[in-house]
Amino acid sequence: MKRRDFLAGGLTLTAAAATLAGPGSLAASRQSGSPAKKSRFKLKYAPHFGQFRHHAGDDLVAQIHFAADEGFSAMFDNGLMNRPAQDQEKIARELEKRGMALGPFVLYADFSQKSFVKRDKDIREMLIKKMRQGIETSKRVNTAWALVVPGRYDESLAWEYQTANVIENLRACVEACEPAGLILVLEPLNPKDHPGLFLTRIPQAYEICRALASPSCKILDDLYHQQITEGNLIPNIDMAWEEIASFHIGDTPGRKEPTTGEINYRNIFRHLHQKGYQGVLGMEHGHSLKGKEGEQATIEAYRACDDF
Orientation of helix 85-97 relative to helix 60-69, angle to 10°: 20
- Across the range 87-96, mean pLDDT stands at 98
pLDDT in tens, 125-144: 999 999 999 999 999 999 99
- Across the range 176-203, mean pLDDT stands at 98
pLDDT in the model for residue 19: 39
pLDDT in the model for residue 29: 41
Complete domains list, the chain, with CATH: 3-305 (3.20.20.150)
pLDDT in the model for residue 38: 77
pLDDT in tens, 4-25: 343 333 333 333 333 334 434 4
pTM listed for this prediction: 0.87
Does pLDDT of 181 surpass 80?
yes
Residue type, 224: Y
pLDDT in the model for residue 27: 44
131: nearest Cα among 246, 220, 217: 217
Cα separation of 146 and 183, whole Å? 6
User: What Cα–Cα distance (Å) separates residue 144 from each residue in 3, 13, 107, 219, 282?
Assistant: 27, 42, 12, 14, 15
